[in-house]
Chains A and B, each alone.
Chain A
Amino acid sequence: MSQLVARQKEFTLLELLDRILDKGVVLKGDITISVANVDLVYLGLKVLLGSVESVERMRTAAIQGSMLDVQGKG
């Protein structure tokens, strides 16, 4: 359950980053963002994207694993 909550938070952050950094109204061209941190944030975005997919793989594997256990006992 806590894994789902953590994954939900990670995912929501990904959705926020996608919007707040890349979309919305642009009133002026020179957005004042600290450059080094933007690189880190975009790196973080890619890591988040990867982690959403990894969590999904882990969850699927866990479900399949527990189903096999049930069948084995039956």
Chain B
Amino acid sequence: MYIYAITDHSRAAMPATPGLEDAPPLSIPYREIAAVVSAHSMEKIAPTQTYLWCHEAVVEALMADRTVLPVRFGTVVSGEAAVQALLAAHYDGLVANLKRVCGRVELGLRTLWDGVEGRASTPGRSEQVAQRGSGMDGRSYLLARLEEERQTQVWRQRAEVLAAELHGSLAHLAVESTYQVLMTPRMLLVAAYLIERDRMTVFQRMVNALKITHPTLDLLCTGPWPPYSFVTAGAVAASGKQREGAYA
């Protein structure tokens, strides 16, 4: 059996959306929650675009009329008994997660910037210094390296200040959020926001406002997603987690 999501115990009918291999999704209840599954014949599930979107389509269809915890792709168990054993093992954590995300959706934001040019005064960190280094004495070489490091630090600080400003404008509209700075030199900000469903319009308006006030940035907003970024396995999730990763 393939598991798509954990839901609250709902009397609503299963959506018509077909699952993997066109199998119909079924709900297996356990106390106050349920797992949505379908039968399948594959020994291993290949993460092809077809299967990925199929999984996502089932989860999003469920989101329309119940609270949903999306399960990571590729979760396969032997049968109904195994499903119920997993639900029992993780019960308290799953109930807590369902309560946290009830009535809420996830919006994602990626922001590209052009600030990568500020990293060093000329392109190529070590290449630049190596070129100059051939005719340089040791002291000049070290000074040049120090200057490069300083510029990189300044650049990184610019990124963190700008990312914090953008994130700050959006985070207060959200119940919870995560963000990461400079995942790549051009990817200034990658963030996810757990927001109340009825705040989606306000959030979108803020993103549009940020696009106007920051015309050199590319703000790419997607969603609403099931709350992938705001659930954890079993254990009660920490709230308001913030991950900051500086580009190394």
> A-side interface residues toward B, CB under 8 Å?
11-13, 15-17, 19-28, 31-34, 37-38, 41, 49, 52-53, 56, 60
Instruction: Say which residue of A16, A27, A60 sits within 8 Å of B3 (CB atoms).
Output: A27
- B residues 36-80 near A (Cβ < 8 Å) are 43-49, 52-53, 55-56, 69-77
In this complex, what residue of A is CB-closest to B232?
Answer: A25
In this complex, what residue of A is CB-closest to B184?
Answer: A49
6 other A-B residue contacts (CB within 8 Å) besides A21-B72, A25-B72: A19-B70, A23-B229, A24-B231, A27-B234, A49-B184, A53-B184
Number of interface residues of B (CB under 8 A): 45
In the complex, the answer to whether A31 meets B73 with C-beta atoms within 8 Å is yes
A23-B74 contact, Cβ under 8 Å, with A34-B46, A53-B112 = no
In the complex, the answer to whether A20 meets B72 with C-beta atoms within 8 Å is yes
Distance A45 CA – B82 CA, assembled complex (angstroms): 32
In the complex, the answer to whether B47 meets A24 with C-beta atoms within 8 Å is no
Cβ of B234 to closest chain A Cβ, rounded Å: 8
In the complex, the answer to whether A32 meets B72 with C-beta atoms within 8 Å is no
A33-B71 contact, Cβ under 8 Å, with A19-B229, A20-B228, A56-B218 = no
* B110 / chain A contacts, CB cutoff of 8 Å: 11, 15, 52
In the complex, the answer to whether B69 meets A16 with C-beta atoms within 8 Å is no
In the complex, the answer to whether B71 meets A19 with C-beta atoms within 8 Å is no
* A26 / chain B contacts, CB cutoff of 8 Å: 71-72, 75, 233
* A41 / chain B contacts, CB cutoff of 8 Å: 47
* B5 / chain A contacts, CB cutoff of 8 Å: 25
- Is B222 part of the binding interface, using a Cβ–Cβ cutoff of 8 Å? yes
- Is B211 part of the binding interface, using a Cβ–Cβ cutoff of 8 Å? no
A16-B220 contact, Cβ under 8 Å, with A23-B72, A24-B231, A38-B47 = no
